[in-house]
């Protein structure tokens, strides 16, 4: 249902729009829908029908739906969203509240079939929100009205979201009261500690923190460890059946809820790391976790308290070297610096680049990772080694976005990637062991986080100033983007694996067309804009719009520098001076004043 009225800014009242569009069903393809929404027209993704001559935007009048949308007001920027949704969503558009400083946009998905059950639509939206917690949780009912917006961002109009992958079928209904009573009787018979193959016998001992009794059962050997990584890895490999007191290799009664039929199991992680996992397969009480999460839940405590309990139980001592203690103090100082109120005044360009899009937060997470997994020994460097998958989970971002961020941090010299010969032997041995266990083709990268100092950050601040002047974005963070804006040596440093990489003929041709278009437009009328340039460069292949936008971001700094141009935001004075019409105040490119 699509409104006939186009708005240039956010409407003040939704009532008139709702009444108008509920009477305006429209048959439209996805490309047309995107264009209409970018004109500022509101829409309801569901299709509503009249009942007894009446129609309202209420669930009882909802009939079917094949489009869903997510709102993003914070937690993800446009570049990240384009990377994240390019293979799933049809298009995105910026909302009326979107600014360069605060990105606000809507992502629109097309389903692979019409859905005629409202609960199923809401299940799909809930599934998407679970996958993307940054989305606005207010937008999950099937009657939702969405306002139009300002700018259309085409992803792939052929993308379709598989309905079946989001829908679950309830298998078998079981009388809950019957389960509770039956299980209570069964546990009473077991008397807490007598052998019963279906029941975990050590639960009360764990809840009572009866270390002495548990020592008699588990009989752990004393261990000395040098960092938290070793501790966590060791604990996750402990025999969970022995820990919980389970005497069967089959399924058993879940330890977290009452049940008749055994729904819990213990198995080894498929990541080939030797970690044991507990899983309850019940639809109502699903749970999957390691010994740490199990203990946290049983003791109703924090994960840190669970770790302390398990260290005492398994007789683990943490021995840190003097260098580890010193480096931890350095990391704490670094973390305090990133949160300092003086950061903006001391390093204004660094603050401008890194205060947006969660970069400082991710730097903070990296410092915590370094602190958590500091290797033992006397190496004075802040070293850490993790796969992109692990870092992505810590960031709460996709692998592609995380990869871009790690390259961004590398470009600004906040961290560097070590060559194999630079990795300390102790660390290299661990890396090779992990690769062998997991069957990886390559070693995980080893990074060095560079120590904070005033002069070091002054250099970074200068680099950030150049970055801002060249109007760079995360789309610049690839071999071609760095080479065009900062030179081939810098591109080889940030992307050593791509050293000497040749730029494709298509990229060269498109950039050449963009250069030519910019110069011709400026010669003709004194200015041009990104939109004009993109519209002038005609390409004819799937995904060409995204490709053009990316190439423009890549070569913008190169053009500004080569032709003595500037990219500035419009205001009334500049618009009057250059005789620029229209209502917008976006960016233009012109000769540097």
The tokens for 225 are 């460890």
Question: Are residues 264 and 330 both part of a single domain?
Answer: no
Question: Are residues 255 and 303 both part of a single domain?
Answer: yes
The domain of 257 spans 191-318
pLDDT at position 565, please? 92
Question: Are residues 290 and 333 both part of a single domain?
Answer: no
pLDDT at position 441, please? 64
Question: Are residues 429 and 568 both part of a single domain?
Answer: no
Q: Give the count of domains, the chain.
A: 4
The answer to whether position 35 is within a domain reads yes
What is 330-389 written as a DSSP string?
HHHHHHHHHT-TTHHHHSHHHHHHHSSTTHHHHHHHHHHHHHHTPPSSS--SEEEE--HH
Q: What span, in angstroms and rounded, lies between the C-alpha atoms of 137 and 71? A: 8
Question: Are residues 252 and 328 both part of a single domain?
Answer: no
Sheet of strand 46-48, all strands in order from the earlier edge strand to the far edge: 46-48, 62-72, 105-115, 91-95, 149-154
Question: Are residues 335 and 309 both part of a single domain?
Answer: no
Domain boundary among 285, 318, 351: 318
Question: Are residues 464 and 334 both part of a single domain?
Answer: yes
DSSP state of 226: S
pLDDT at position 241, please? 95
The answer to whether position 303 is within a domain reads yes
Q: Is residue 352 exposed (0-12), middle (13-18) or buried (19+ Cβ within 10 Å)?
A: middle
Task: Look at the pTM and tell me if it is higher than 0.85.
Answer: no
SS3 labels along 451-462: CCCHHHHHHHHH
Q: Is residue 96 exposed (0-12), middle (13-18) or buried (19+ Cβ within 10 Å)?
A: middle
pLDDT at position 583, please? 76
pLDDT by residue, tens only, the chain of 593 residues: 999 999 999 888 777 888 888 888 888 899 999 999 999 999 999 999 888 888 999 988 998 899 999 999 888 899 899 989 988 999 999 999 999 889 999 999 999 888 888 888 988 998 898 888 888 887 778 899 999 999 999 999 989 988 888 875 432 332 333 323 333 333 333 333 334 467 899 999 999 999 999 999 999 999 988 777 788 889 999 999 999 999 888 899 999 988 888 999 999 988 778 899 999 988 788 899 999 999 999 999 988 899 999 999 999 998 877 888 888 888 888 888 898 888 999 999 999 999 988 999 999 999 988 887 776 667 777 877 777 888 898 899 999 999 999 999 999 999 988 777 777 776 777 767 766 766 666 666 778 888 888 889 999 999 999 999 999 999 899 999 999 999 999 999 898 878 888 889 999 999 999 999 999 999 999 999 999 999 999 988 888 999 999 899 999 988 998 899 999 988 888 988 888 888 778 889 999 88
CATH number for position 510: 1.10.10
pLDDT at position 477, please? 93
Handedness of CA 40, 42, 45, 47 (dihedral sign): negative
The answer to whether position 573 is within a domain reads yes
Question: Are residues 146 and 259 both part of a single domain?
Answer: no
The tokens for 562 are 């080569």
For residue 65, give every residue at least 6 positions away whose Cβ sits within 8 Å of its Cβ, in sequence order, or none. Answer: 45, 46, 47, 111, 114, 115, 121, 142
The answer to whether position 49 is within a domain reads yes
> Which H/E stretch holds residue 133?
none
Question: Are residues 230 and 372 both part of a single domain?
Answer: no
DSSP state of 239: -
pLDDT at position 437, please? 65
The answer to whether position 64 is within a domain reads yes
Question: Are residues 290 and 335 both part of a single domain?
Answer: no
pLDDT at position 188, please? 39
Q: What span, in angstroms and rounded, lies between the C-alpha atoms of 229 and 316? A: 13
Question: Are residues 98 and 21 both part of a single domain?
Answer: yes
* Residue 142 backbone phi and psi in degrees, to 5: -75, -5
Handedness of CA 485, 489, 494, 498 (dihedral sign): positive
The answer to whether position 232 is within a domain reads yes
The answer to whether position 442 is within a domain reads yes
Question: Are residues 293 and 208 both part of a single domain?
Answer: yes
CATH number for position 240: 3.90.580
Q: What span, in angstroms and rounded, lies between the C-alpha atoms of 494 and 482? A: 8
């Amino acid at each position: 249902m699509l409104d006939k009225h186009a708005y240039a800014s956010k409407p003040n009242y939704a009532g008139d729009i709702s009444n108008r569009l509920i009477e305006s069903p429209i048959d439209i393809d996805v490309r047309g829908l995107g264009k209409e929404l970018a004109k500022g027209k509101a829409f309801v993704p569901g299709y509503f029908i009249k009942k007894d001559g009446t129609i309202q935007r209420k669930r009882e009048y909802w009939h079917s739906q094949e489009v869903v949308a997510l709102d993003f007001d914070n937690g993800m920027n446009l570049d990240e969203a384009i990377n994240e949704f390019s293979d799933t969503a049809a298009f995105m558009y910026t909302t009326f509240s979107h600014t360069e400083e605060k990105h606000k946009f809507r992502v629109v998905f097309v389903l692979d079939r019409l859905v005629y059950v409202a609960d199923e639509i809401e299940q799909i939206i809930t599934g998407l929100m679970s996958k993307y917690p940054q989305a606005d949780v207010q937008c999950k009912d099937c009657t939702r009205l969405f306002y139009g917006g300002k700018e259309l961002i085409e992803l792939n109009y052929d993308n379709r979201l598989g309905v079946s992958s989001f829908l679950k079928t309830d298998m078998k209904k079981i009388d809950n009261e019957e389960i509770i009573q039956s299980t209570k009787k069964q546990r009473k018979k077991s008397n807490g500690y007598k052998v019963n193959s279906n029941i975990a016998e050590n639960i009360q001992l764990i809840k009572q923190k009866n270390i002495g009794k548990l020592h008699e059962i588990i009989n752990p050997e004393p261990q000395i460890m040098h960092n938290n990584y070793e501790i966590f890895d060791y604990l996750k490999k402990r025999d969970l059946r022995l820990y919980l007191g389970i005497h069967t290799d089959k399924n058993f009664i879940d330890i977290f809820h009452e049940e008749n039929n055994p729904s819990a199991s213990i198995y080894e992680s498929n990541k080939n790391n030797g970690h044991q996992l507990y899983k309850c397969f019940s639809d109502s009480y699903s749970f999957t976790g390691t010994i740490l999460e199990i203990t946290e839940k049983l003791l109703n405590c924090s994960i840190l308290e669970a770790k302390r309990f398990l260290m005492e139980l398994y007789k683990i001592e943490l021995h840190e070297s003097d260098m580890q203690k010193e480096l931890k103090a350095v990391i704490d100082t670094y973390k305090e610096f990133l949160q300092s109120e003086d950061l903006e005044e001391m390093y204004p360009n660094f603050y401008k680049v890194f205060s947006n899009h969660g970069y400082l937060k991710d730097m903070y997470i990296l410092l915590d990772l370094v602190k958590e997994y500091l290797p033992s020994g006397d190496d004075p460097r802040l070293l850490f080694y993790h796969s992109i998958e692990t870092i992505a989970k810590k960031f709460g971002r996709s692998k592609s976005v995380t990869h871009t961020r790690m390259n961004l941090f590398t470009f600004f010299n906040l961290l560097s990637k070590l060559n194999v010969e630079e990795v300390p032997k102790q660390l290299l041995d661990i890396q090779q062991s992990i690769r062998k266990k997991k069957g990886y083709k390559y070693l995980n990268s080893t990074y060095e986080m560079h120590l904070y100092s005033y002069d070091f950050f002054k250099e970074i601040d200068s680099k950030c100033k150049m970055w801002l002047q060249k109007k760079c974005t995360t789309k610049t963070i690839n071999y071609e983007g760095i080479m065009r804006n900062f030179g081939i040596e810098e591109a080889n440093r940030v992307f050593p694996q791509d050293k000497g990489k040749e730029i494709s003929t298509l990229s060269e041709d498109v950039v050449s067309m963009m250069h030519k278009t910019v110069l011709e437009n400026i010669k003709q009328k004194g200015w041009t804009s990104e939109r004009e340039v993109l519209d002038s460069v005609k390409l004819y292949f799937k995904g060409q719009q995204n490709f053009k936008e990316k190439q423009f971001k890549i070569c913008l700094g190169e053009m500004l520098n080569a032709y003595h141009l500037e990219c500035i935001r419009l205001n009334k004075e500049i618009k009057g001076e250059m005789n620029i019409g229209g209502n917008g105040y976006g960016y233009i490119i012109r000769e540097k004043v």
